Copies of this chain bind each other. A is one copy, B any other.
């Protein structure tokens, strides 16, 4: 890949990266390390400069020291790190719309090169997006492209999202705005199109004739840990479901594009939007909400908060491919484990229960996004040995053992991948404004109803599976095989055979 990237035009041009909000957590923990990772992989242009911009006055030295703490020392005595930091500058301003300060940034850019490509990374509150964009428009000059990376939240409902979108549209064309949903940078999410379209055995089965249900799960084993104030204004639906899980859902459900790569970015996103357009606004009847016990003990959370920390819901996609298939989305905090996974449950093998004189469990394709990336298909085999009864096992590829995926070289961070995509001008992995709006259209009525009615969610214990008994996944169409245990590489005990 380095060879491919190195031969692309942009790689021969000077590059300026301006990180707004450079002194914040996101910048230090994600943005700079990702850029450093690209640097050490030889994926940045030879001539590049990174300008940190924030409100706090800092010396370059102290800033570099701050940033440097989060860069992994790659075993060459810090030489790479040292060279990288020498390309990092810092400028501070009064605000994220401080025209004078931005002019200083511009001067710095022009000095570096008047023909540099320019990437602005907005690691700043959404409320300042518009003013920053306008100020950049009026102050930053020179040839070369100018692209902007934005981070969620992109509004809190349909109306606020549209406002934000429109205010940005006044300064920049949609094609220069790269809205990050970091789930789109995960290995297994990026894998979805390859899995679906390059494998006959998936492509043939990828529809309502063969699929019984799709289940997307996000679980975190911890709560808000004293920082619930921010979360409380959003809740789990906005935090995880409306954006991350819906993006994954779109990639699972979209129609095949003409090309997976590059040239048809817009077709990919159009196909994703078409999935969303085929989904009706979620009804409260199809939703289960929960709040973990102790959530309101967080001092930053209001005592009477009705915010959900758990949500399970069901939706349908009204297309020939998907009509009748339930898509179940589940996300929760303070649950029993950390896990994000996709489960494609296939229909019953026809007449198998009759043929085998015993209930035969369903096949299920599981794509584990994290932790420990893996793909497996729950598959029935004859019980090994004398018996002829079927038993459920699995065919698996574990990315750690198969591809050394725990090594960051083999498995770069989502942000690293996505920033590289921006530099290459490949926008398929970013959220287009109509995707945003359609996703909000689907969730806004539900969210408004919840906020209006202020009903208390179901309280669940921390460290559990959440209000499981209230989530009727079986009624929704997803069947659990309670017999099955995922053995995770271990040999099945003899007693099971």
Contacts and interface: CB of A to CB of B under 8 A. Distances in A.
Given A357-B259, A388-B261, A494 B410 contact: yes
B380 A199 contact: yes
A404 interface: yes
B409 A256 contact: no
Interface in A109-145: none
Interface centre among A201, A278, A402, A405 (most CB of B within 10 A): A201
B349 A197 contact: yes
A376 interface: yes
A274 interface: yes
Interface in A323-337: 323-324
Contact of A319 (B324, B349, B351, B417): B351
Q: What copy number does this chain have within its complex?
A: 4
A200 B479 CA distance: 15
Contacts of A376: 395
Contacts of A278: 258, 351, 354
A191 interface: yes
A390 interface: yes
Given A270-B270, A278-B258, A350-B208, A320 B387 contact: no
Given A256-B319, A384-B410, A401 B489 contact: yes
- Interface band, chain A: 35 or more
Contact of A187 (B259, B274, B382): B382
Contacts of A402: 393, 487, 491-492
A363 B200 contact: yes
Interface in A413-441: 417, 420
Interface in A365-392: 375-377, 379-382, 384-388, 390
A253 to B, nearest CB: 13
Interface of A: 1, 4-5, 41, 43, 187, 190-191, 193-195, 197-201, 203-205, 208-210, 255-261, 267, 270, 274, 277-278, 318-324, 346-352, 354-357, 360, 362-363, 375-377, 379-382, 384-388, 390, 393-397, 399, 401-405, 407, 409-412, 417, 420, 487, 489, 491-492, 494, 497
Question: Lowest 10 CB-CB distances: which A-B pairs, in order?
Answer: A395-B395, A318-B354, A198-B380, A320-B350, A194-B382, A323-B351, A191-B382, A1-B386, A200-B349, A1-B387
29 contacts: A194-B356, A195-B381, A197-B320, A197-B349, A198-B380, A198-B390, A199-B349, A200-B347, A200-B349, A201-B210, A208-B350, A256-B319, A256-B351, A257-B355, A258-B318, A259-B354, A267-B274, A319-B350, A323-B350, A323-B354, A324-B350, A377-B395, A384-B410, A385-B411, A386-B420, A393-B402, A401-B491, A402-B487, A404-B491
